[in-house]
Amino acid sequence: MKRFISYLEESKNTHMEHIEDMIFNDGVEGARLAITSLQRLRNMLAGSSSKEFDITVKWDGAPAIFAGTDPADGKFFVGTKGVFNKNPKLNKTTADIKKNHSGDLATKLEIALKHLPSIGIKGVVQGDLLYTKSDLKTNSYDGNDYITFHPNTIVYAVPKGSKLAKQISASKIGIVWHTLYSGRDLQSMQAKFGVDITRKLKKNKNVFFTDANYRDQSGKATFTASETKEVTAHLSKAGSVFRNLPSGFIKLISEDEEVKMRIKSFLNKFVREGKPFPEPKQLSKDLFDHIDQYYQKEVDKYKTEKGKDGARARKNKFNAVLSEPNKLIALFEFFNEIVQAKLKIINKLHQAEGLKTFLKTSNGLKVTDREGYVAIDKMKGGAVKLVDRLEFSKANFSSDVLKGWQK
């Protein structure tokens, strides 16, 4: 059975899964940890503090930036997710950047390589790039002027003239740091979440940096007794459904990459279309129809019987799942209860005041919430994301929402 840290980020923070997908990804253990994580978040928002659990804000920065000292030679480097490749792409000189990258990414990495050594990074850290100097703009919304930066889907806005706006305007690069790595070499390094990285960094006017820690300075992000009761009801129902789901049925999905991938792709279809997930019985029927249509197209695509037989064999993997409709409905009941509990927690976390966030559309700026949050198990070292998929993920997929990298 995979441990918490391994199935969430495989010892490197290169990809995080949605909490409701944990039952598909990691079966029985994933389902248990989804419930436990949401219970701890509920308790935190109800006023119970925990030294074992933490929450950070998921910034919509891009690209992921890695920086620090290569243990092999003691030299400083910057890079993207390629630093953990079998043949790592480490940029220690501008010549390395020109060799490994091109275009706007290469320009941003050159700025990072020039300025990041000045803040005294120890070891290897990971963050999300928020901006370089040329990305900063001035925008008006509802009669107020803001300094804005737009790294990916979300536009971040800081009131013009504020202390923070002046600090950002004076800098050459901005990054939010969230993960620290330790190990004898890059390939064996392990990710540590919830570590106070920025406290030990040196301040430099050319580099704006912050951490991803969740802060509720407004005091508004606290559950009432009735809100706590609502989340508890969803988690109790999820637990009840889970206890009656045979572990063998869950394994049919979690231990087969083809089945798992198709189900998650099917669910993402609703997100892309901006549609809420149907009730479990209808969702189960829709999956049956989706699988039938998908693999029929796969069969029709091939001209030879060998190719057609291969597509039919892949479809047959689903027979054991689709032939158990009541169990499949129960699986989606669990999924739905986790989603509902997650959304109530996200909506409460959103009430903490922070930077203003917008989406950029053809009609101008549209107010939106933060991308989401990351729940961190400080004892086991793992993390999982909580994102409102019908809000942020829909915007991420939508061609109507302009992205920061679109010129």
How many angstroms separate the CA atoms of 42 and 44, rounded? 5
Chain centre distance of CA 104: 23
What single letter denotes the amino acid at residue 38? Answer: L
The tokens of 92 are what? 């220690």
Coil vs helix vs strand at 177: strand
Burial 357-370 (b: 16+ CB within 10 A, else e): bbbbeeeebeebbb
**How far lies 217's CA from each of 57, 221, 353, 354, 395, in Å?**
14, 9, 7, 9, 28
Q: What is the pLDDT of residue 35?
A: 96
For residues 104 and 37, the answer to whether their CB atoms sit within 8 Å is no
**Torsion-angle region of residue 142: left (phi > 0), alpha (psi -120 to 50) or beta?**
left
State mean pLDDT over 286-290: 95
State mean pLDDT over 114-134: 96
How many angstroms separate the CA atoms of 356 and 344, rounded? 21
Instruction: Reply yes or no on whether the pLDDT at 3 is more than 50.
Output: no
Average pLDDT, whole number, for the chain?
90
For residues 154 and 92, the answer to whether their CB atoms sit within 8 Å is no
Task: Write down the domain spans for the chain.
Answer: 17-45+219-369+382-397, 64-211
Q: 36-74, pLDDT tens digit by residue?
A: 999 999 998 998 766 667 888 999 999 999 999 999 999
Residue 364 DSSP label: E
